[in-house]
Amino acid sequence: MKETSKFSFKNYRSGIILLEIQSLIPEKFINVMWKNNIYIKNIKKKNITTMTMEINLRDYDKIEDIARRTGTRIRIIKRRGPIFFIIKLKRKITLVSGIVLFIGIIYYLSTFIWNVKINSEEGLPPYIIRQQLKSYGISSGINKNKINVYKIEKDLVKDNDNIMWAKVRIQGSELDVSVVQRKSPPTIVEENTPCNLIAKRDGKVMRAYTTKGTAVVKPGDDVKKGQLLVKGEQGQEGSIYSVHAAGYIICTTTYESSETVKVNNIKNERTGKKLENYYINFRGKRRYLKKDNNKFNKYDRIEESKFIFGKETYFEVKQVTVKGNLQKIVQDTGEKLYKNICCKLDKSIKTVNRIVTYEGQDPCKVKVQVTAEENIAIPDTITN
């Protein structure tokens, strides 16, 4: 008897089926198919009673009838053509609908801003910028179509006197906001304006060079911040006139920095136990798909998120004491403090020596003293 698929092919025309037929006289079956104008190709004989062939899907109903009349067993070996892909989809309509719905949701959610990233300088706290954006109606969950980045840039500069320049861009589902702080221009003393030179910081005079004005300090003198170094006057007694003092007063100066550090530290070490929670974040509210009660006394919490999906992982930890190497800690801290001092120095300043000292054992106070050579003379306008 015949073996057929339970699916009906009556409503479909395109597609190719590879059939295997078994009959005492397979040639008779083929002759009947030809008489019924059924197109056959790639006929192959396996043995005396078995053959394979390819037929069009639209002729399958006719072949079933012929097989029944001739007592031939038929079996579908292979199917090809786009129609069979559609048939498979129909059988899995729930899965396909879920995939389409999932893609639709992801696309819909991608039209919203889910994070506002603010890049600002030290004098511009991100909190201030974020509050200013909220006053414009810009926050997480806003539709991208409602955002005009160029208008936001203009409003930020216009409404905040501390902002010199702003750049706002949409990066995927993130709004990237960068601002630059407005800085006051330096006070410039014109060269034809009479002025003195005073010390900008404490130091010890090493060399003094003047091109205009009269030096009132000499090498070896200790000077204080604000002290007069070069007087803006020239000439002999009876013919003294004011000038724009100019020159260099090279002094040795001192910069100091200190930091208190712990030698022995308490470290959290994971025990290997953990629990995981999964959630969906929509418009700032979390809907947990899986949530376990956290029974750990001490733990590390790691949070991961992508689009609206999030994951919380809790790792149980225990505290252990880690003993440190005092000399290495002092050396590393001293090096860090020295680099921090150098980063703040002008390129014209030359460092000549540094001394690292420390007090105490745990905690330990590390102190760095840097000796430098620099010109400490700055102009000071003469006021009547």
Asked if residue 217 is part of any domain, the answer here is: no
Q: Which domain holds residue 129?
A: 115-181
Q: Which residues contact 213 (CB under 8 A, 6 or more apart)?
A: 196, 197, 230, 231, 232, 233, 234, 243, 244, 245, 246, 247
Asked if residue 306 is part of any domain, the answer here is: yes
Residues 308 and 270 in one domain: yes
Segment holding 244, helix H or strand E? none
CA distances to 22, 34, 151, 304 from 16, in Å: 20, 17, 60, 49
Residues 82 and 124 in one domain: no
CA distances to 89, 117, 153, 162 from 133, in Å: 47, 11, 10, 15
What is the structure's pLDDT at 3? 43
User: The domain that contains 39 carries what CATH number?
Assistant: 3.30.70.260
Total number of domains in the chain = 3
Residues 132 and 80 in one domain: no
Domain boundary residue, one of 181, 205, 238: 181
Asked if residue 212 is part of any domain, the answer here is: no
Residues 74 and 134 in one domain: no
1: pLDDT confidence band, cut at 50, 70 and 90?
Answer: very low
Residues 40 and 82 in one domain: yes
Summarised one tens digit per residue, pLDDT across range 115-161 is 999 998 777 888 888 999 999 999 888 999 999 999 999 999 888 88
Domain boundary residue, one of 154, 181, 208: 181
Asked if residue 174 is part of any domain, the answer here is: yes
Summarised one tens digit per residue, pLDDT across range 271-285 is 888 888 888 887 778
Summarised one tens digit per residue, pLDDT across range 222-232 is 999 999 999 88
Residue 5: is its pLDDT beyond 50?
no
Looking only at the bridges linking them, the beta strands covering 50-56 and 115-119 are: unpaired
Domain boundary residue, one of 181, 203, 218: 181
DSSP structural state of residue 58? G
What is the structure's pLDDT at 186? 64
368: which strand partners? 257, 356
Asked if residue 378 is part of any domain, the answer here is: no
Q: Please state, in angstroms and rounded to a whole number, the distance separating the CA atoms of residues 162 and 181.
A: 6
Residue 264 exposure: Cα atoms within 13 Å on the Cβ side: 8
Asked if residue 122 is part of any domain, the answer here is: yes
pTM over 0.75, yes/no: no
Q: Please state, in angstroms and rounded to a whole number, the distance separating the CA atoms of residues 321 and 263.
A: 11
